[in-house]
Amino acid sequence: MLGLVVALWLARTAPNTLARRALMIGALVALAQTTAISLYRALALNAWPIVVVEFVLVMGFVWVLFIKPEPVV
């Protein structure tokens, strides 16, 4: 997971190309899966702050990718 975060951090200033969009969609899928697993564990362990932080990150990716996307270069 840390490698994915580093790759996304390094790609943050890159122009919006198809490669960057593919990287962000892959990250969205991985983060959505992580959030679903955290939600399952939060029900058992009462760890809601982790779920909230991950959900906010997922919504950020959804916003950037689908609601207000930059034009592809």
Assess contact for 57 and 31: CB atoms under 8 A: yes
pLDDT tens by residue, 30-57:
999 999 999 988 888 888 888 898 899 8
Residue 68 forms part of a structural domain: yes
d(CA 31, CA 44): 20
Residue 2 forms part of a structural domain: no
Total number of domains constituting the chain: 1
pTM: 0.78
Residue 44: predicted pLDDT: 85
How would you label 9-46 residue by residue, b for 16+ Cβ within 10 Å and e otherwise?
eeeeeeeeeeebeebbeebbeebbebbeebeeebeeee
Residue 3 forms part of a structural domain: no
Domain span including residue 65 = 21-73
Residue 34 forms part of a structural domain: yes
- Across all residues in the chain, what is the average pLDDT? 87
